[in-house]
Protein backbone atom coordinates (compact mmCIF):
# COMPACT_ATOMS: atom_id res chain seq x y z
CA UNK A 1 0.00 0.00 0.00
CA UNK A 2 1.28 3.45 -0.91
CA UNK A 3 2.15 5.68 2.02
CA UNK A 4 3.46 9.21 2.27
CA UNK A 5 7.22 9.25 2.44
CA UNK A 6 8.43 10.88 5.64
CA UNK A 7 12.16 10.97 6.25
CA UNK A 8 12.99 9.63 9.72
CA UNK A 9 14.72 12.07 12.03
CA UNK A 10 18.42 11.54 12.43
CA UNK A 11 19.43 9.58 15.51
CA UNK A 12 22.24 10.85 17.70
CA UNK A 13 24.42 8.00 18.96
CA UNK A 14 25.19 7.94 22.67
CA UNK A 15 26.52 5.39 25.15
CA UNK A 16 25.46 4.36 28.63
CA UNK A 17 28.38 2.65 30.36
CA UNK A 18 29.55 1.53 26.94
CA UNK A 19 26.12 0.28 25.83
CA UNK A 20 24.67 2.11 22.80
CA UNK A 21 21.65 4.39 23.04
CA UNK A 22 20.01 6.58 20.41
CA UNK A 23 18.79 10.11 21.09
CA UNK A 24 16.09 11.92 19.14
CA UNK A 25 13.30 14.40 19.88
CA UNK A 26 10.52 11.97 18.98
CA UNK A 27 11.06 8.21 18.95
CA UNK A 28 7.51 7.56 17.78
CA UNK A 29 7.89 9.73 14.66
CA UNK A 30 11.18 8.01 13.78
CA UNK A 31 9.69 4.56 14.19
CA UNK A 32 6.46 5.34 12.35
CA UNK A 33 8.45 6.66 9.39
CA UNK A 34 10.51 3.47 9.30
CA UNK A 35 7.37 1.34 9.39
CA UNK A 36 5.70 3.30 6.59
CA UNK A 37 8.78 3.00 4.41
CA UNK A 38 9.10 -0.73 5.16
CA UNK A 39 12.58 -0.22 6.57
CA UNK A 40 12.95 -3.06 9.02
CA UNK A 41 14.55 -2.45 12.40
CA UNK A 42 15.07 -3.96 15.84
CA UNK A 43 14.01 -1.75 18.75
CA UNK A 44 15.67 -2.34 22.14
CA UNK A 45 14.16 -0.77 25.27
CA UNK A 46 17.18 -0.04 27.45
CA UNK A 47 17.03 0.22 31.22
CA UNK A 48 19.59 -0.03 34.02
CA UNK A 49 19.08 -3.76 34.50
CA UNK A 50 19.64 -4.53 30.81
CA UNK A 51 22.71 -2.28 30.77
CA UNK A 52 24.30 -4.26 33.59
CA UNK A 53 23.31 -7.56 31.95
CA UNK A 54 25.01 -6.42 28.74
CA UNK A 55 28.17 -5.67 30.70
CA UNK A 56 28.22 -9.27 31.95
CA UNK A 57 26.97 -10.88 28.73
CA UNK A 58 28.98 -10.01 25.60
CA UNK A 59 26.41 -11.73 23.38
CA UNK A 60 23.65 -9.44 24.66
CA UNK A 61 25.92 -6.43 24.20
CA UNK A 62 26.48 -7.46 20.58
CA UNK A 63 22.73 -7.72 19.93
CA UNK A 64 22.15 -4.25 21.40
CA UNK A 65 24.96 -2.81 19.27
CA UNK A 66 23.31 -4.31 16.18
CA UNK A 67 19.87 -2.82 16.92
CA UNK A 68 18.82 0.11 14.76
CA UNK A 69 17.00 1.85 17.62
CA UNK A 70 17.82 1.72 21.34
CA UNK A 71 15.48 3.86 23.44
CA UNK A 72 15.77 5.14 27.05
CA UNK A 73 13.09 2.97 28.65
CA UNK A 74 14.31 3.04 32.24
CA UNK A 75 14.55 5.82 34.81
CA UNK A 76 18.18 4.97 35.52
CA UNK A 77 19.13 5.54 31.90
CA UNK A 78 17.38 8.93 31.91
CA UNK A 79 19.18 9.94 35.11
CA UNK A 80 22.48 8.83 33.56
CA UNK A 81 21.75 11.11 30.61
CA UNK A 82 21.09 14.01 32.98
CA UNK A 83 24.44 13.42 34.66
CA UNK A 84 25.92 14.00 31.22
CA UNK A 85 23.90 17.14 30.57
CA UNK A 86 21.30 15.52 28.31
CA UNK A 87 17.68 16.08 29.29
CA UNK A 88 15.86 13.36 27.34
CA UNK A 89 12.43 12.17 28.40
CA UNK A 90 11.95 8.53 29.29
CA UNK A 91 10.37 6.53 26.47
CA UNK A 92 8.67 3.43 27.96
CA UNK A 93 8.58 0.64 25.41
CA UNK A 94 5.00 -0.30 26.28
CA UNK A 95 3.81 3.23 25.49
CA UNK A 96 5.83 3.44 22.27
CA UNK A 97 4.46 0.09 21.10
CA UNK A 98 0.86 1.02 21.92
CA UNK A 99 1.19 4.37 20.12
CA UNK A 100 2.41 2.46 17.08
CA UNK A 101 -0.55 0.06 17.30
CA UNK A 102 -2.93 3.01 17.45
CA UNK A 103 -1.33 4.61 14.39
CA UNK A 104 -1.49 1.34 12.45
CA UNK A 105 -5.20 1.07 13.27
CA UNK A 106 -5.99 4.66 12.32
CA UNK A 107 -3.97 4.67 9.09
CA UNK A 108 -4.39 1.03 8.03
CA UNK A 109 -0.65 0.49 7.90
CA UNK A 110 -0.47 -3.28 7.77
CA UNK A 111 -0.22 -6.55 9.63
CA UNK A 112 0.79 -7.15 13.24
CA UNK A 113 2.01 -10.26 15.06
CA UNK A 114 2.07 -10.80 18.84
CA UNK A 115 4.53 -13.41 20.16
CA UNK A 116 5.08 -14.20 23.82
CA UNK A 117 3.45 -14.52 27.19
CA UNK A 118 1.66 -17.39 28.84
CA UNK A 119 -1.00 -19.28 26.87
CA UNK A 120 -4.04 -17.08 26.37
CA UNK A 121 -2.44 -13.83 27.54
CA UNK A 122 -1.40 -12.43 24.15
CA UNK A 123 -4.80 -13.43 22.72
CA UNK A 124 -6.55 -11.52 25.50
CA UNK A 125 -4.24 -8.54 24.97
CA UNK A 126 -5.01 -8.55 21.25
CA UNK A 127 -8.76 -8.68 21.89
CA UNK A 128 -8.66 -5.77 24.34
CA UNK A 129 -6.48 -3.65 22.06
CA UNK A 130 -8.70 -4.36 19.05
CA UNK A 131 -11.70 -3.20 21.10
CA UNK A 132 -9.82 -0.09 22.23
CA UNK A 133 -8.60 0.90 18.75
CA UNK A 134 -11.23 0.36 16.03
CA UNK A 135 -9.60 -0.81 12.83
CA UNK A 136 -6.82 -2.67 14.63
CA UNK A 137 -6.57 -6.31 13.54
CA UNK A 138 -3.82 -8.53 14.93
CA UNK A 139 -2.97 -10.91 12.09
CA UNK A 140 -1.47 -13.65 14.26
CA UNK A 141 -0.94 -14.39 17.95
CA UNK A 142 1.49 -16.97 19.34
CA UNK A 143 2.19 -17.62 23.01
CA UNK A 144 5.77 -17.82 24.24
CA UNK A 145 5.77 -21.58 24.80
CA UNK A 146 6.89 -22.89 21.44
CA UNK A 147 7.59 -26.60 21.06
CA UNK A 148 9.71 -28.45 18.49
CA UNK A 149 6.44 -29.11 16.65
CA UNK A 150 4.99 -25.59 16.75
CA UNK A 151 8.22 -23.65 16.14
CA UNK A 152 8.58 -24.38 12.39
CA UNK A 153 4.87 -23.68 11.89
CA UNK A 154 5.17 -20.27 13.55
CA UNK A 155 8.33 -19.38 11.64
CA UNK A 156 6.65 -20.31 8.36
CA UNK A 157 3.68 -18.12 9.31
CA UNK A 158 6.02 -15.17 9.83
CA UNK A 159 7.66 -15.76 6.45
CA UNK A 160 4.30 -15.87 4.71
CA UNK A 161 2.73 -12.91 6.51
CA UNK A 162 5.71 -10.52 6.26
CA UNK A 163 4.05 -8.28 8.87
CA UNK A 164 4.80 -4.62 9.32
CA UNK A 165 5.19 -5.04 13.10
CA UNK A 166 6.14 -7.94 15.39
CA UNK A 167 5.96 -7.49 19.16
CA UNK A 168 7.95 -10.08 21.11
CA UNK A 169 7.28 -10.51 24.82
CA UNK A 170 9.71 -13.13 26.11
CA UNK A 171 11.54 -11.07 28.72
CA UNK A 172 15.11 -9.78 28.69
CA UNK A 173 17.42 -11.04 27.28
CA UNK A 174 15.53 -13.92 25.67
CA UNK A 175 13.42 -11.67 23.45
CA UNK A 176 16.45 -9.72 22.22
CA UNK A 177 18.26 -12.92 21.24
CA UNK A 178 15.14 -14.33 19.58
CA UNK A 179 14.64 -11.22 17.47
CA UNK A 180 18.29 -11.09 16.44
CA UNK A 181 18.16 -14.75 15.41
CA UNK A 182 14.90 -14.60 13.44
CA UNK A 183 14.50 -11.07 12.05
CA UNK A 184 15.99 -12.20 8.74
CA UNK A 185 12.69 -14.00 8.09
CA UNK A 186 10.97 -10.60 7.78
CA UNK A 187 13.69 -8.11 6.87
CA UNK A 188 11.29 -5.20 6.29
CA UNK A 189 9.53 -5.61 9.63
CA UNK A 190 9.75 -3.48 12.78
CA UNK A 191 10.58 -5.81 15.69
CA UNK A 192 10.16 -4.65 19.29
CA UNK A 193 10.91 -6.55 22.49
CA UNK A 194 8.03 -5.62 24.80
CA UNK A 195 8.73 -7.68 27.94
CA UNK A 196 5.58 -8.08 30.02
CA UNK A 197 3.45 -5.68 27.99
CA UNK A 198 1.02 -8.40 26.91
CA UNK A 199 0.18 -9.02 30.59
CA UNK A 200 -0.56 -5.33 31.10
CA UNK A 201 -2.67 -5.03 27.95
CA UNK A 202 -4.52 -8.23 28.88
CA UNK A 203 -5.23 -6.88 32.37
CA UNK A 204 -3.47 -9.72 34.19
CA UNK A 205 -0.90 -7.25 35.57
CA UNK A 206 -1.01 -3.54 36.33
CA UNK A 207 1.51 -0.80 35.63
CA UNK A 208 2.61 1.50 38.41
CA UNK A 209 0.34 4.49 39.16
CA UNK A 210 1.03 7.54 37.03
CA UNK A 211 2.59 9.56 39.85
CA UNK A 212 5.20 6.85 40.39
CA UNK A 213 5.96 6.61 36.66
CA UNK A 214 6.21 10.40 36.39
CA UNK A 215 8.75 10.45 39.20
CA UNK A 216 10.87 7.64 37.75
CA UNK A 217 9.82 5.24 40.53
CA UNK A 218 8.09 2.51 38.55
CA UNK A 219 10.77 0.07 39.72
CA UNK A 220 9.55 0.51 43.33
CA UNK A 221 6.07 -0.63 42.31
CA UNK A 222 7.47 -3.61 40.41
CA UNK A 223 9.45 -4.70 43.45
CA UNK A 224 6.36 -4.30 45.65
CA UNK A 225 4.20 -6.38 43.31
CA UNK A 226 6.91 -8.92 42.47
CA UNK A 227 9.25 -9.22 45.49
CA UNK A 228 11.00 -12.19 43.86
CA UNK A 229 12.66 -9.61 41.59
CA UNK A 230 14.85 -8.32 44.43
CA UNK A 231 17.99 -10.08 43.22
CA UNK A 232 17.57 -8.57 39.77
CA UNK A 233 16.95 -5.17 41.37
CA UNK A 234 20.45 -5.29 42.86
CA UNK A 235 21.58 -4.14 39.44
CA UNK A 236 20.00 -0.73 40.13
CA UNK A 237 22.42 0.40 42.89
CA UNK A 238 25.28 -1.17 40.91
CA UNK A 239 24.22 0.87 37.89
CA UNK A 240 23.98 4.07 39.95
CA UNK A 241 27.45 3.54 41.46
CA UNK A 242 29.00 2.72 38.10
CA UNK A 243 27.33 5.76 36.56
CA UNK A 244 28.83 8.08 39.18
CA UNK A 245 32.28 6.54 38.78
CA UNK A 246 32.00 6.77 34.99
CA UNK A 247 30.95 10.42 35.22
CA UNK A 248 33.84 11.28 37.54
CA UNK A 249 36.29 9.58 35.21
CA UNK A 250 35.20 11.47 32.11
| SS3 labels along the chain | CCCCCCCCCCCEEEEECCEEEEECCCHHHHHHHHHHCCCCEEEEEECHHHHHHHHHCHHHHHHHHHCCEEEECCHHHHHHHHHCCCCCCCCCHHHHHHHHHHHHHHHCCCCEEEEECCCCHHHHHHHHHHHHCCCCCCCEEECCCCCCCHHHHHHHHHHHHCCCEEEEECCCCHHHHHHHHHHHHCCCCEEEECCCHHHHHHCCCCCCCHHHHHCCCHHHHHHHHCHHHHHHHCHHHHHHHHHHHHHHCC
**pLDDT at 237 (0 to 100):** 80
62 to 58, 81, 87: CA distances (angstroms): 6, 22, 27
**pLDDT of amino acid 195:** 95
pLDDT over 90 (residue 225): no
Look at the pTM and tell me if it is higher than 0.85. Answer: yes
The pLDDT, as a whole number, for residue 1 is: 41
Give the mean model confidence (pLDDT) for residues 56-78: 97
Count of Cβ atoms closer than 10 Å to residue 85 Cβ: 6
Omega before residue 201 within 30° of 0, cis:
no
* Pairwise pLDDT comparison (191 vs 4), residue with the higher score: 191
Classify residue 100: in a domain, yes or no.
yes
8 band by pLDDT with thresholds 50, 70 and 90: low
Count structural domains, the chain. Answer: 1
Q: What pLDDT, in 10s, does the model give residues 127-151?
A: 999 999 999 999 999 999 999 999 9
Which residue range forms the structural domain that includes residue 186?
12-145+158-202
**Alpha-carbon separation of residue 147 from 86, 114, 151, 186 (angstroms):** 45, 17, 6, 21
Question: At 2, phi and psi to the nearest 5?
Answer: -75, 135
pLDDT classification of 245: cutoffs 50, 70, 90:
confident
- What confidence score (pLDDT) does residue 20 get? 98
220 pLDDT tier (thresholds 50, 70, 90): low
pLDDT at 210: 67
Q: Please report whether residue 101 resides in a domain.
A: yes
Q: Which of 9-18, 194-203, 217-226, 235-244 has the lowest mean pLDDT?
A: 217-226
Can you give the pLDDT at residue 229?
A: 58
Among candidate residues 35, 26, 25, the one with its CA nearest the CA of residue 4: 35
How many Å apart are CA 145 and CA 92, to the nearest integer? Answer: 25
Question: Is 247 within a domain?
Answer: no
Biggest CA pair distance of the chain = 53
- Inside any domain, residue 190: yes
Q: What pLDDT score was predicted for residue 224?
A: 56
Per-residue pLDDT tens digits for 156-190: 999 999 999 999 999 999 999 999 999 999 999 99
Query: What is the pLDDT at residue 3?
Result: 46
* Nearest residue to 233 via CA among 247, 249, 217: 217
Does residue 218 fall inside a structural domain?
A: no
* Residue 40 belongs to a domain: yes
Domain contains 232: no
Average pLDDT, the chain: 90
Q: pLDDT confidence of 214, banded at 50, 70, 90?
A: low
Q: Is residue 216 in some structural domain?
A: no
Amino acid sequence: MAQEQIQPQALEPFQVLGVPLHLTRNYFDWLLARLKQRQGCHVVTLNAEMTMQAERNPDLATVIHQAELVIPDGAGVVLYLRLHGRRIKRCPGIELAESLLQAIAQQNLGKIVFFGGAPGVAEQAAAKLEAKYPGLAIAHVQNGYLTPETTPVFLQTLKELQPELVLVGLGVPRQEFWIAQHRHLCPNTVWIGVGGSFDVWAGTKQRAPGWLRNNNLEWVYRLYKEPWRWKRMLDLPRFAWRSLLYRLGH
